[in-house]
Amino acid sequence: MTVIKRNGTEVPFDITKITEAVRKANETVEENNRMTPTQIQRIAECVELSCMKMGRAPSVEEIQDLVEYQIMAHGAYEVAKNYVTYRYTRSLARESNTTDEKILSLIECCNEEAKQENSNKNPVVNSTQRDYMAGEVSRDLTERILLPPDIVKAHREGIIHFHDMDYYAQHMHNCDLVNLEDMLQNGTVITGTLIERPHSFSTACNIATQIIAQVASNQYGGQSISLTHLAPFVDVSRQKIRKEVEAELAEIGADPGEEKVSHIVETRLRNEIRRGVQTIQYQVVTLLTTNGQAPFITVFMYLGEARNEQERADLALIIEETLEQRYQGVKNESGAWVTPAFPKLIYVLEEDNVQEGTRYWYLTKLAAKCTARRMVPDYISEKKMLELKVDKNGEGHCYTCMGCRSFLTPYVDPETNQPKYYGRFNQGVVTLNLPDIALSSGGDVEKFWKIFDERLELCHRALMCRHERLKGTVSDVAPILWQYGALARLKKGETIDKLLYGGYSTISLGYAGLYECVKYMTGRSHTDPEATPFALDIMEKMNAACRGWKAQHNIDFSLYGTPLESTTYKFAKCLQRRFGIIEGITDRGYITNSYHVHVTEEIDAFRKLEFEAQFQHLSPGGAISYVEVPDMQDNLEAVLSVMRFIYDHIIYAELNTKSDYCQVCGWDGEIEIAEDNGKLIWKCPRCGNTDQSKMNVARRTCGYIGTQYWNQGRTQEIRDRVLHL
């Protein structure tokens, strides 16, 4: 068993440190109030047993809480008082410098929590360390100076989560839906260099990757682009290639006929499309942005966006090549084909591709084949989006999210009375810990709603801090975003304020642990018909709060099904610290993401998607559902059945398959999770390899694929998942 120290480093559990600490506290009191050596040993052993039951590495603070409790349980109140006083004195001393130890542990790569904070960041490389170091300084400034003390306290206690606090000191925002069309068609500027409208598809792809990198370095969340915006350049290349072919044929005096000329042109065009798509894939995978990770980019594939039949046919060519290349994967350092984390792909299911015999059914079959092997694409239902994402003119719209799940709300430009999605963004997120509300209420429904209202207001104030931090930001801080088309074309020196109001951008109230909240309050899973109404009441209450705040401030607050990664572990630890171990509620190292069915609950894929669809509709700021499946490469018909069900029932969903590779023995089946001395590790079932640097593991984390491993809480959650198919 290991212990997480305050600076994030992980060390072996040592029971003698507990006995020594209690012995020292014991010696500070009068002899008649002291405990016996046997009692001290029992306290240490009870603490050790409690830590082992956690099934994860406990923190020093958690161990000290347990020690305190055990001293009290033995009736040694004077010893307990002195022990608490000592802890308090030490905490005051530590608060005089909150960053040095953490930064030093980052540099030495021994900060275990930082290593596992983001499953797509390699904590060893300099760029990631630099970002983490800057983040620690930013977080320190934010907690000490920039945020109100009660919000900081609530964040530390896990009552709320103020997302991306390490970027708050800067005037940065969350997610973007990049207006690639504007930048390609009208030109842009990258690091002071004018980039004009490209004259070929391959050049357009090259420019797109540069835009992606620049955008990623100027915000901290996800971003999305649409392949539709590249489609017009296919015909630009086609016409260019035709002229070249005709010139070559004229030079040698040949006339093979129009059919042969067209065949040569289309063959060369296909080669250019292949190179262009490869540029996007390999550039994204190999780029490291200023925050030390590959750009968190989503690529949207929607035939319905094409404006004419030629563009639609050309878009189909790009989609086909994108799926083919993703199916193949990328080579790792050993030369084996593996699954990359990015770009994330989203494929829209629509009338022309969802049923056998439809025009683009072949693309849907290819998408299913790719999903079975590489976990992407994910799927959006055009049918459900048009039904549920309706603007003020009564028109439904289908569009992509801004990352793993963050969706914009429908918006009509007041100047043109036309819908607008590309060029919009999200200001930030604050997440509400729902199980904490339930546990704080003690199961009393009246008290639950009272605390709920108080916590909502706390989130409201925290979100307004995010908004106020962005207010007054001048466009010069990120020209690629605000001046050169990614999000806007503002003047130099102009503030972004007008983009923060009226629904142009969103700001998100997140929520987590709906399952645990409902289970504690009702004794039942929220899938139980008797408990579902209470779960829906919670959702309606949060949406009503967002509507009220929107009316008050003219800011588009929207409810967001939070994708917890490291925070699922943080919330779980905070709940255990505050309320102890409660079976079925706080007895794991994680809490459930947003509205999801608990990972251990037996439920089939179709019933799960149908049940969660009602919660997606009530999460307009973003949500995604998934089904956990085994290796489906030899059962594509089942994959297609799930995809057809998605089309008819839910906005946005994915299939969680596995895609692993052991570099020691070449095993390409599932790498397993095993327990070793109280810690969860990854282990090759064929050769027993446990060296994470010699294996490739890809798992869906919370809407996106992670490839750099996870903290103990998230690893436990991955291990606990049951299959839905």
8 Å CB contact between 460 and 549: yes
Catalytic residues: 174-175, 402, 404, 406, 426, 560, 565, 703
Rounded to an integer, what distance in angstroms lies between the CA atom of residue 535 and that of residue 423?
34
Alpha-carbon distances, residue 460 vs 45, 432, 466, 538, 606 (angstroms): 44, 10, 10, 16, 36
- From CA 228, how far away is CA 213, in angstroms rounded? 19
pLDDT at 179: 98
Work out whether strand 223-226 and strand 176-177 pair parallel, antiparallel, or are unpaired.
parallel
In angstroms and rounded to an integer, the radius of gyration of the C-alpha atoms of the chain is 27
Query: Secondary structure of 622-637 in the HEC alphabet?
Result: ECCEEEECCCCCCCHH
As a whole number, the mean pLDDT across the chain is 91
Across 188-277, where does the E strand assignment appear? Answer: 188-190, 193-195, 223-226
Q: In what order do the strands lie in the sheet with 659-662?
A: 659-662, 695-700, 705-706
722 pLDDT tier (thresholds 50, 70, 90): very high
Find, among 618, 590, 338, 620, the residue nearest to 506 by Cα: 620
CA distance 326 to 343: 9
Q: Between β-strands 652-656 and 378-381, what pairing exists: parallel, antiparallel or unpaired?
A: antiparallel
Which of 111-125, 292-306, 579-593, 623-637 has the lowest average pLDDT?
111-125
Which whole number is the average pLDDT over 462-482?
97
- The whole-number pLDDT of residue 539 equals 98
Q: How confident is the model at residue 535 (pLDDT cuts 50, 70, 90)?
A: very high
Predicted pLDDT of residue 534? 98
- In one letter, which amino acid is 672? E
Residue 141: CB partners within 8 Å, gap ≥ 6?
169
Q: What is the pLDDT of residue 700?
A: 85
Distance CA 483, CA 531 (A): 50
Per-residue confidence band for 611, with pLDDT thresholds at 50, 70 and 90: very high
Give me the pLDDT at residue 703, please.
72
What pLDDT score was predicted for residue 432?
Answer: 98
Which CATH number, 3.40.640.10, 3.10.129.10, 3.20.70.20, 3.90.1150.10, labels domain 402-623?
3.20.70.20
Question: What mean pLDDT is predicted for residues 412-430?
Answer: 96
245 residue type, one letter: V
User: For residue 107, what pLDDT is reported?
Assistant: 52
Q: Tens digit of pLDDT for each residue in 97-137?
A: 555 565 555 555 555 555 555 545 555 666 666 676 777 77
Whether cis (ω within 30° of 0) applies to the bond prior to 377 is yes
Please determine, for residue 9, whether its predicted confidence score (pLDDT) is greater than 80: no
Residue 374 has pLDDT above 70, yes or no: yes
- 497 Cβ neighbours under 8 A, 6+ residues apart: 471, 472, 473
Rounded distance between C-alpha atoms, residue 540 and residue 225, angstroms: 32
pLDDT at 175 > cutoff 60: yes
Top-confidence residue, 104 or 699: 699
- pLDDT of residue 708 exceeding 80: no
Cβ neighbours of residue 306 under 8 Å, at least 6 residues apart? 228, 231, 312, 314, 315
pLDDT in tens, 35-51: 999 999 999 999 999 88
pLDDT in tens, 56-88: 778 888 888 899 889 988 888 888 888 877 776
Average confidence (pLDDT) over 8-23 = 86
Q: How far apart are CA 624 and CA 456, in angstroms?
A: 23
Quote the pLDDT of residue 51. 86
pTM tops 0.95, yes or no: no
Q: What is the DSSP string of 254-265?
A: ----HHHHHHHH
| pLDDT of residue 29 exceeding 60 | yes
Over range 150-165, report the average pLDDT. 95
- Looking at residue 87, what is its pLDDT? 72
> Which among 233, 408, 375 is positioned nearest to 659, based on CA atoms?
375
Q: Are 695 and 663 in contact (CB under 8 A)?
A: yes
Residue scoring higher pLDDT (462 or 94): 462
